[in-house]
Amino acid sequence: MDIVIIGGVAAGAKAAAKAKRIQPDANVKIYTDENHVSYSSCGLPYFIEGNFTDYRTLLVRSVEEFAASGIDVYLNSRVEKILPIQKDILIARENEAELVKYDKLIIATGARAKIPQIKGVNKFNNIYTLRKIEDGIKIRNKMLESSVVTIIGSGYIGLELLEAFVKNGLRVNVIEANKKIMGSFDDDISDLIKKRLESSSIGNFEFYTGEVVTEFIGENNNVKSVKTESGKEIQTDMVVLCAGVEPNIEIAKDAGIEIGPTGAIRVNKLMHTSIEDIFACGDCAEKKHIVSGRPVWIPLGSTANKEGRCAAMNAAGEYCEFEGVLGSTVTRCLNTTMSKTGLTEEEAKEVGFSPISALVLKTDRVAYMPEAGDITLKVVADKVTGLLLGGQAIGAVGADKRINTLTSALIGHLTVEAFNNNDLTYAPPYSTTIDPLLNAMQILTAKMAKLRQN
Amino acid sequence: MDIVIIGGVAAGAKAAAKAKRIQPDANVKIYTDENHVSYSSCGLPYFIEGNFTDYRTLLVRSVEEFAASGIDVYLNSRVEKILPIQKDILIARENEAELVKYDKLIIATGARAKIPQIKGVNKFNNIYTLRKIEDGIKIRNKMLESSVVTIIGSGYIGLELLEAFVKNGLRVNVIEANKKIMGSFDDDISDLIKKRLESSSIGNFEFYTGEVVTEFIGENNNVKSVKTESGKEIQTDMVVLCAGVEPNIEIAKDAGIEIGPTGAIRVNKLMHTSIEDIFACGDCAEKKHIVSGRPVWIPLGSTANKEGRCAAMNAAGEYCEFEGVLGSTVTRCLNTTMSKTGLTEEEAKEVGFSPISALVLKTDRVAYMPEAGDITLKVVADKVTGLLLGGQAIGAVGADKRINTLTSALIGHLTVEAFNNNDLTYAPPYSTTIDPLLNAMQILTAKMAKLRQN
């Protein structure tokens, strides 16, 4: 039995390892167009920041380790075509081509950085994107000889790089076309994130929101400044494009595999695509949102691991259903943790819920403890049913803890009323007597009671 | 309408505030035999440690603040008797007695430290227990002039005081009659706690487990040494008894109010006792365990707050059901966080489940992050149904986060299978790609699959 996997970062590497464990006699092969396999791309900002200096720290499993467990990894081997009828894939390698037979195929081609169509974007060597290990090495090396960097985009990667650059002493400009930074949060929370970051005592940086970059200007292959629609011209030594990602679906689409409404590869709960014996998982695959029931495309390393495992189980003859995602995320920038799960209030409205929300601002643990820090927590529920829909938390400490506590509640489809009974742990070094989450539930309970009276 | 509350620490103070908010015209009165009202007794070890030096930091709400919101607080006023037929309570104050009428009575008499019946226990001034603010002040003052302290008992308060004393440079002996410390954890986890604490680079302390104290020896009202059954005689400058607590139920029992099988006051979901118009809440009241369905007595400040609120709502004419507790706890001692929720494996067996467990030892976040620390996580489930029953976590960081994530799962009665779909947040500064909780679920899933095959 030949189990062939296209892509080898998170989902692909996990799928290969799992498939081989289930079917030790199967031929399990990974084809990747990259130079590395099985690495933590989420760790690249921390490599750039200098938390560790050897990029190999990011490697989860080497080609040799895969070989030792009987898995063949083919690096620098781009898959040109999937031929579903004859069950082959066509590999392009240097100047030769090769047909490789599969019984089960797992597509884990991931995503790539979006390149905004800005004048000059392809003209300069010091404009970067961050996806692969090589990108990380290049950015770090350039950073070490730069004084000013400009980040285009203010999502997760943008803010993680802001921290990395600032901690290395650079002046950082963050240019964001939208009016708010961290656009996946509700407006009120996004505003607080910006204020909180701007109040940080560390770092020399500025946010330019609502600024559209119109041109990169420079000479000798080097960008020197960034021009915006409003007429600003911002000097810079380097640029990193953090304008989002898009799924690598071309070879799947070309093979006739169905693409979902989000633009990613459509899969069912078994991670199976529309064509027999072909699975897809990780950043190239569409997901179902557990709260809204809608198809979404939220590419994350943690999801990629789960989907890779599930796809492999089904490909190798076991059974696994993947229920979907909550869109849970967490990140850090300087003094601020930002975390969310489920639907924002805006998203809840869009998909047809009647959301109400509670906003709690307090210390994350008892204020007399020296480690206490602030936390802002927003919890969203449906005002008709009381069903919990999502939460967002930011602050110095404990935001990730509150959001993870909510994820289990969302998986369990808990209402506000049921959550009121939650017996959260309490001791002064860890929480307030009434945890911020329970404060939020009390506010929601009171709001719903008031609505029922009217 | 007279709403009278006996006791004013956590449950009582909360109940008074809530009742007054619901019924602004009611006479709300708190009677307490203490010198202080509405304080955080959980904070006393941190006061002793010196995180703050003014004990008034522990006061949540002063008598004056209560008065300002129309609530009368009677300090140093012991309630001698409840007279349910005439709906009065009898107050003893200095040399006078007073009858006070109630329409609704809320008993929040709390718990007291157990005094082990050891020879000499009542003979010396430098043997302490820790419940009240005065206890904390006395212990801190004595600590400041002592070099060696002996703690009898190794539960939560015992270990919190161990940290406090060690950080103040004292030599600490902890004597525990049982073979294990932190007896509310499973044996395997308790062993790890002991090893972890003993490996701490900070502090000069020793655990004496399986050692029963037989006598306190001293002179001039001062204990000088502690004798144990095995023949040890341990020199000491002071002793703190941390041998557990027992509920203050005497006046309730005396009034004919039913006492539950745990020895605490029996209440229904409305926090109502067996006698009409009398409620009980907080450390004096019995609770229902949400996982086992059994009556338990787990006295905690966080529970006291919820129960106080609920009792007040029902007393004041609103409606509130309190579903029960999970027995969730967290504490810190030196380099170690210890947290648990739900049933231990031992408890699960006792109440009739067929438990299996998974033990995960890993870093709490990606190992290349400088903040990474170890975590040991044990998750318990029923092997027949897959129902999650509880969890225990210890380690450098993140133990409390994982246990709180489990609490929501227990409230939602999630199975291992359902939890496998949990979309926990991930980023290198916060978690591993596969969170320790999800590792545990994968181990449990595999164990259950194996059992089904056999």
Strand segments, DSSP code E, in B182-314 are 204-209, 213-219, 222-228, 233-235, 238-241, 245-247, 278-280, 287-288, 295-296
Residue B170 included in any domain: yes
> Nearest-CA distance from A92 to chain B in Å?
32
> Nearest-CA distance from B313 to chain A in Å?
12
Per-residue pLDDT, averaged over A237-249, amounts to 98
Residues of B in contact with A445 (CB under 8 A): none
Note whether B6 and B87 are same-domain residues. Answer: yes
- By CB atoms closer than 10 A (0-12, 13-18, 19+), residue A368 is middle
Q: Where are the alpha helices (DSSP H) in B352-435?
A: 399-411, 416-420
Euclidean distance between CA atoms B371 and B395, whole angstroms? 13
- Report residue A394's pLDDT band, with 50, 70 and 90 as the boundaries: very high
Give the pLDDT confidence score for residue B296 in this predicted structure. 98
Contact A430/B332, CB-based, under 8 Å?
A: yes
Is A247's Cβ below 8 Å from some Cβ in B? no
In 3D, which of A236, A7, A252, A41 has the Cα closest to residue A137? A41
Contact B434/A305, CB-based, under 8 Å?
A: yes
Contact B403/A425, CB-based, under 8 Å?
A: yes
Is B397's Cβ below 8 Å from some Cβ in A? no
Q: What is the pLDDT of residues A90-132, one digit of tens each?
A: 998 777 889 999 999 999 999 999 999 999 999 999 999 999 9
Contact B411/A407, CB-based, under 8 Å?
A: no
Q: Which of A225, A243, A261 is the C-terminal boundary of a domain?
A: A243
Strand segments, DSSP code E, in A229-272 are 233-235, 238-241, 245-247
Residue A63 included in any domain: yes
Note whether A10 and A85 are same-domain residues. Answer: yes
- Do A57 and A347 form a contact (C-beta atoms < 8 A)? no
> Nearest-CA distance from B432 to chain A in Å?
9
Strand segments, DSSP code E, in A178-269 are 204-209, 213-219, 222-228, 233-235, 238-241, 245-247
Contact B57/A368, CB-based, under 8 Å?
A: yes
Q: The domain spanning residue B420 has which CATH number?
A: 3.30.390.30
Can you say how many angstroms the Cα of residue A133 is from the centroid of all Cα atoms in its chain? 16
Give the pLDDT confidence score for residue B203 in this predicted structure. 83
Residue of B nearest to A433 (CA): B302
Name the 3-class secondary structure at B163: helix
> Nearest-CA distance from B332 to chain A in Å?
7
The minimal CB distance from A51 to the residues B57, B370, B404 is found for B370
Residues of B in contact with A407 (CB under 8 A): 405, 408, 422-425
Residue A311, phi then psi, degrees to nearest 5: -60, -45
Residue B21, phi then psi, degrees to nearest 5: -65, -35
| Chain A interface mutation, best of B288, B408, B435, B442, highest count of A Cβ atoms under 10 Å | B408
Give the pLDDT confidence score for residue A202 in this predicted structure. 82
Q: What is the pLDDT of residues A317-336, one digit of tens each?
A: 999 999 999 999 999 999 89
- Do B92 and B85 form a contact (C-beta atoms < 8 A)? no
Residue B326 included in any domain: no
In order of A41, A99, A162, A163, the CA distances from A45 in angstroms are: 9, 37, 9, 9
- Report residue A441's pLDDT band, with 50, 70 and 90 as the boundaries: very high
Per-residue pLDDT, averaged over A377-402, amounts to 97
- Do A273 and A105 form a contact (C-beta atoms < 8 A)? no
Euclidean distance between CA atoms A109 and A15, whole angstroms? 12
| Chain B interface mutation, best of A58, A302, A408, highest count of B Cβ atoms under 10 Å | A408
Residue B439 included in any domain: yes
In 3D, which of A446, A419, A417, A449 has the Cα closest to residue A435? A419
pLDDT (tens, 9 = 90+) of chain B, 454 residues, equals 999 999 999 999 999 999 999 999 999 999 999 999 999 999 999 999 999 999 999 999 999 999 999 999 999 999 999 999 999 999 987 778 899 999 999 999 999 999 999 999 999 999 999 999 999 999 999 999 999 999 999 999 999 999 999 999 999 999 999 999 999 999 999 999 999 999 988 889 999 999 999 999 999 999 999 999 999 999 999 999 999 999 999 999 999 999 999 999 999 999 999 999 999 999 999 999 999 999 999 999 999 999 999 999 999 999 999 999 999 999 999 989 999 999 999 999 999 999 999 999 999 999 999 999 999 999 999 999 999 999 999 999 999 999 999 999 999 999 999 999 899 999 999 999 999 999 999 999 999 999 988 8
Parallel, antiparallel, or unpaired for β B2-6 and B104-107?
parallel
Which residues of A participate in catalysis according to the annotation? 42
Note whether A158 and A234 are same-domain residues. Answer: yes
Contact A370/B40, CB-based, under 8 Å?
A: no
Which residues of B participate in catalysis according to the annotation? 42
Is B319's Cβ below 8 Å from some Cβ in A? no
Euclidean distance between CA atoms A71 and A77, whole angstroms? 15
Name the A residues in 259-278 with CB < 8 Å from any B CB: none
> Nearest-CA distance from B32 to chain A in Å?
21
Residue A278 included in any domain: yes
> Nearest-CA distance from B393 to chain A in Å?
12
Euclidean distance between CA atoms A82 and A186, whole angstroms? 41
User: What is the layout of strands, in order, in the sheet containing A233-235?
Assistant: A213-219, A222-228, A233-235
- By CB atoms closer than 10 A (0-12, 13-18, 19+), residue A58 is buried
Name the 3-class secondary structure at A199: coil
> Phi/psi class of residue A326: alpha, beta or left (left: φ > 0; alpha: ψ in -120 to 50)?
alpha
In total, the C-beta contacts within 8 angstroms joining chain A to chain B are 208
Note whether A257 and A238 are same-domain residues. Answer: no
> Nearest-CA distance from B169 to chain A in Å?
19
Kindly report the average pLDDT of chain B as a whole number: 96
| Chain B interface mutation, best of A331, A423, A431, A439, highest count of B Cβ atoms under 10 Å | A423
Give the pLDDT confidence score for residue A97 in this predicted structure. 87
Q: Which of B181, B208, B243 is the C-terminal boundary of a domain?
A: B243
Note whether B170 and B258 are same-domain residues. Answer: no
Identify the DSSP state of B10. Answer: S
Note whether A227 and A251 are same-domain residues. Answer: no
Name the B residues in 23-82 with CB < 8 Å from any A CB: 40, 42-43, 46, 51-52, 57-58
Is B317's Cβ below 8 Å from some Cβ in A? no
Residue of A nearest to B44 (CA): A428
Euclidean distance between CA atoms B23 and B315, whole angstroms? 10
Contact A427/B324, CB-based, under 8 Å?
A: no
Is B391's Cβ below 8 Å from some Cβ in A? no
Strand segments, DSSP code E, in B134-252 are 148-152, 171-176, 204-209, 213-219, 222-228, 233-235, 238-241, 245-247
> Nearest-CA distance from A117 to chain B in Å?
29
Is B393's Cβ below 8 Å from some Cβ in A? no
The amino acid at B403: I
Residue A13 included in any domain: yes
Note whether B139 and B227 are same-domain residues. Answer: yes
Note whether B9 and B151 are same-domain residues. Answer: no
- Do B145 and B168 form a contact (C-beta atoms < 8 A)? no
Q: The domain spanning residue A32 has which CATH number?
A: 3.50.50.60
ipTM: 0.96
Contact B414/A409, CB-based, under 8 Å?
A: no
**Could you please report the per-residue DSSP string of A303-344?**
HHHHHHHHHHHHHTT-------B---EEEEETTEEEEEEE--
Note whether B354 and B419 are same-domain residues. Answer: yes
Kindly report the average pLDDT of chain A as a whole number: 97
Residues of A in contact with B422 (CB under 8 A): 407-408, 411
Residues of B in contact with A51 (CB under 8 A): 368-370
Long-range CB contact pairs, B133-136, < 8 A, 24+: B133/B34, B133/B35, B133/B36, B133/B39, B133/B41, B133/B44, B133/B55, B133/B58, B134/B35, B135/B44, B136/B44, B136/B47, B136/B48, B136/B55, B136/B58
Give the pLDDT confidence score for residue B454 in this predicted structure. 80
Identify the DSSP state of A389. Answer: E
Residues of A in contact with B426 (CB under 8 A): 42, 300-302, 328, 330
Contact A422/B408, CB-based, under 8 Å?
A: yes
Residue A50 included in any domain: no
Q: Which of A243, A265, A280 is the C-terminal boundary of a domain?
A: A243
Specify which residues B148 forms β-bridges with.
B171
Euclidean distance between CA atoms A133 and A140, whole angstroms? 11
Note whether B255 and B205 are same-domain residues. Answer: no
Parallel, antiparallel, or unpaired for β A2-6 and A27-31?
parallel
Euclidean distance between CA atoms A209 and B405, whole angstroms? 35
The minimal CB distance from B433 to the residues A57, A301, A326 is found for A301
Is B218's Cβ below 8 Å from some Cβ in A? no
Give the pLDDT confidence score for residue A208 in this predicted structure. 98
Per the structure, the complete domain to which residue A341 belongs is given by: 337-453
In order of A407, B363, B441, the CA distances from B436 in angstroms are: 15, 8, 9
Is A397's Cβ below 8 Å from some Cβ in B? no
Note whether A139 and A233 are same-domain residues. Answer: yes
| A454 has pLDDT over 90 | no
Name the B residues in 297-316 with CB < 8 Å from any A CB: 300-303, 305-306
> Nearest-CA distance from A354 to chain B in Å?
23
- Do B67 and B73 form a contact (C-beta atoms < 8 A)? yes
- Whole-model pTM? 0.96
Euclidean distance between CA atoms B12 and B27, whole angstroms? 15
In order of A102, A306, A315, the CA distances from A320 in angstroms are: 21, 10, 10
Residue of A nearest to B326 (CA): A423
Give the pLDDT confidence score for residue A451 in this predicted structure. 93
Note whether B95 and B237 are same-domain residues. Answer: no
| Chain B interface mutation, best of A330, A379, A404, highest count of B Cβ atoms under 10 Å | A404
* % of chain A surpassing 70 pLDDT: 100
Q: What is the pLDDT of residues A42-81, one digit of tens each?
A: 999 999 999 999 999 999 999 999 999 999 999 999 999 9
Residue A54 included in any domain: no
Degrees (nearest 5) of the Cα angle A395, B390, B285?
85
Count up the domains in chain B and report the number: 3
Name the B residues in 134-193 with CB < 8 Å from any A CB: 156
Is B370's Cβ below 8 Å from some Cβ in A? yes
Name the B residues in 196-215 with CB < 8 Å from any A CB: none
| A430 has pLDDT over 90 | yes
